[in-house]
Amino acid sequence: MNTNKLIIEDGAVYSRQEAAEALGISLSTLKRLIAKGHLQVSKPDGMRRVFITGESIKAFLQGTTIEKGA
């Protein structure tokens, strides 16, 4: 079991896979969050690649609430 967590840094750019790993969620869950507008990404015209900044990941986390017993 890998217990090393990716550190989210301001100014860094992450792939979808790296962002999913940093958040501890599946890639399909991350894609749903992006599709619903919960996580901001950049996608250059004509490219399939999606870029996610550290600031975007942190902003997403700051907009969530922590539930007791979760």
- The answer to whether position 50 is within a domain reads yes
Number of structural domains the chain divides into:
1
pLDDT in tens, 41-53: 988 889 888 899 9
- The answer to whether position 42 is within a domain reads yes
> CATH number of the domain that 38 lies in?
1.10.1660.10
- The answer to whether position 54 is within a domain reads yes
Q: Chain-wide mean pLDDT for the chain?
A: 86
- The answer to whether position 67 is within a domain reads no
Ramachandran quadrant class, 51 (left: phi over 0; alpha: psi -120 to 50; beta: rest): beta
pLDDT of residue 51: 92
pLDDT in tens, 6-21: 788 888 999 999 999 9
Contact 39, 60 (CB under 8 A): yes
The parent domain of residue 23 ranges over: 13-62
Enter the tokens of residue 45. 């015209």
